[in-house]
Amino acid sequence: MKYTLKKEDNFTYLESGEGTPLIILHGLMGNLSNFDGVFDHFSNLGYNVLMPELPLYTLPLLKTNVKNLSKFVKDFVTFKKLDKYILLGNSLGGHIALYHTKLNPKNVSGLILTGSSGLYENSMGESYPKRGDYEYIKKKAEDVFYDPKIATKEIVDEVFESINNRNKLLRTLAIAKSAIRHNMASDLPNMDLPSCLIWGKDDTVTPPEVAEEFHKLLPNSELYWIDKCGHAPMMEHPNEFNMHLENWLMKNSKPKK
């Protein structure tokens, strides 16, 4: 990542480009670098791309849930004085985007979900978490991707550290329970804004049938598939991901130059 993190008020974020605001929300085990390709591409195409660091491990434990993470996004857009914006979320980030859209329908002009939770997702496994077992965590991290080589040592080390840090583990489990409680199935038919679904055909965390269900329930959605791709298409196939997203944006939200 060649951009410098901004730290203002209670927010740490990346920002580049001018035009239509496009806010990117990372997942539970993800970080801002997961979206390098998206950030670079669209900040040069007439979009003001913003990526806040979500306070996954810094909220009080009882407030570590989808609802309060959505409120954090609201606080962020208020701080940035944004009225209309597009949300893009992967995994938990997609779930937060959905919940935020439910509460702020007049502000969100477009919704992009990739490997999103909110309906159903597989956890790390039946014996999660094997906290001290590095090889187990490595295998689980590799399973997120179609190509296991995407799970670099840096990524595996970060997941391993999170699971072996008591503070982070407790909050990870709190968020996972919250995601189950905040199932969005009954809310989706009321979200008639333009929605884009970009999904890996080999996603084992939020499998293809989850994408199909999102597509069925969101009344104004388009679904794009990426072959040989797991839970994080923007990492495994950034060029194809950007192509699908750019095509959808040009039809539904032409950038302000």
State the chain's mean pLDDT as an integer: 91
Residues 6+ apart with CB under 8 A from 184: 95, 98, 99, 102, 118, 119
Q: Please report the DSSP string for the chain in residue order.
A: --SPPEEETTEEEEEE--SEEEEEE--SS--GGGGHHHHHHHTTTTEEEEEEPP-TTTS-GGG-SHHHHHHHHHHHHHHTT-SSEEEEEETHHHHHHHHHHHH-TTTEEEEEEES--SS----S-TT---TT-HHHHHHHHHHTSSSGGGS-HHHHHHHHHHHHSHHHHHHHHHHHHHHHHT--TTTGGG--S-EEEEEETT-SSS-HHHHHHHHHHSTTEEEEEESS--S-HHHHSHHHHHHHHHHHHHHH-----
Residue 125: the pLDDT is: 42
Tell me how far apart the alpha carbons of residues 185 and 214 are, in angstroms, rounded to a whole number: 8
Listed by start position, the domains of the chain span 6-120+183-252
pTM of the model as a whole: 0.92
Look at residue 82 and tell me whether its pLDDT is greater than 80. Answer: yes
Q: Which residue in 220, 225, 248 sits closest to 101, CA to CA?
A: 220
CATH superfamily of the 6-120+183-252 domain: Alpha/Beta hydrolase fold, catalytic domain (3.40.50.1820)
pLDDT at 176: 86
User: Of the ranges 30-44, 66-80, 83-97, 101-115, which one carries the lowest mean pLDDT score?
Assistant: 30-44
149 pLDDT above the threshold of 70: yes
Is the confidence at residue 225, as pLDDT, over 90?
Answer: yes
Instruction: Find the mean pLDDT for residues 46-53.
Output: 95
